[in-house]
Each structure stands twice: as structure tokens, then as C-alpha cells.
A = this chain, B = another copy of it.
Amino acid sequence: MATDISPARMGAWRSFLVAHARVTDALAAELEAETSLPLTWYDVLVQLTEAEDKRLRMQDLARAVLLSKSGLTRLVDRMMASGLVTREPCLDDRRGTFVCLADAGRDRLDGASPIHMRGISQHFTSHLSEDEARQLHALLDRIVQANLIPAR
């Protein structure tokens, strides 16, 4: 069998799981409570803001926010109904659709961003020294690279 994992490694794995659950739960709850903005919505708004022309193709956005195609379709439906984003046909490729950041979406993100940043700081980054942050980043990036896209 030999599928043994050293206690140190197993401990790292378990704390990784618990830390993620605790921190993301806290962040999602705070964001929802103080800005009525679900974390998923926030993610979408961030991705759009960082995107060229403040817009993204559905598929690219889906990958960015770690959602399935259908999941994103519904999410965009809801956000459009709330006026935070817009759909715009893609002229180059008429199969495609752009999701565009609406003014209301930009405003909403501007209001929510400080709150979420404070949360990330309080619950996560403030517990890391600058040096530890660099180490953690390098280490996790290595893991990310080793787990490249299994398709979706």
C-alpha cells in the first residue's frame, strides 16, 4: 500500500481545509451582512473591473470565478436583473456574449471593496508577516501549477 503521509504533511492538509472554510465563511458572511452582496457577485464584479474594456466573454468569466457554464448563466441573469451587469452580443463571433460592468455594478463594487479588503486583512493576511506571505504564495503557486485545469 505505502500510501502513508507524514503527520506534518497531513497536519498541513487538514489545517489548509479548515482555514479555508473558516476564512471564506467569515468573509462571505461579513460581505453579505454589510453590503448585501454575495461573495460570488463580488467576484464577478472584480473580474469585470480588472478586465479590458470592463467586459468578459461568458466562458472566460466562468473560468475566472470557478463556476460552470450553466452556473454562470444563471448568476449573470440575477445580476442583470439587479442592474449590476449587462449582456452585449459579440460581433466578431456571433455565438459569443459579453458580460459588461454596468455603472451600478461599479458603484456597488466601490462600496463593497473596502469592506472585503478589511475582511481579508483581518481574517487572513494580517496573520502573515511579509516574508511568510511570500513563502506561502510561492508554495501554493507550486501546487496550483501542479493542478492545472482538469477541464470543465
Does B3 contact A150, Cβ atoms closer than 8 Å? no
Q: How far is the CB of A130 from chain B (nearest CB, A)?
A: 6
List residues 121-136 of chain A with CB under 8 A from any CB of chain B: 121, 123-125, 127-128, 130, 132-136
| Copy count, this protein chain | 2
Does A6 contact B133, Cβ atoms closer than 8 Å? yes
Among the stretches A13-21, A51-59, A87-95, the one at the interface with B is A13-21
Measured between alpha carbons, how far is A114 from B87 in the docked complex, in Å? 47
The interface on chain A, measured as residues whose beta carbon lies within 8 A of the other chain's beta carbons, has a size of 51
Measured between alpha carbons, how far is A125 from B128 in the docked complex, in Å? 21
**What residues make up the interface of A, taking CB atoms closer than 8 Å to B?**
1, 3-6, 8-13, 15-26, 29, 66, 114, 117-118, 120-121, 123-125, 127-128, 130, 132-137, 139-144, 146-147, 150
Residues of B within 8 Å of A124, CB to CB, are 13, 16, 143
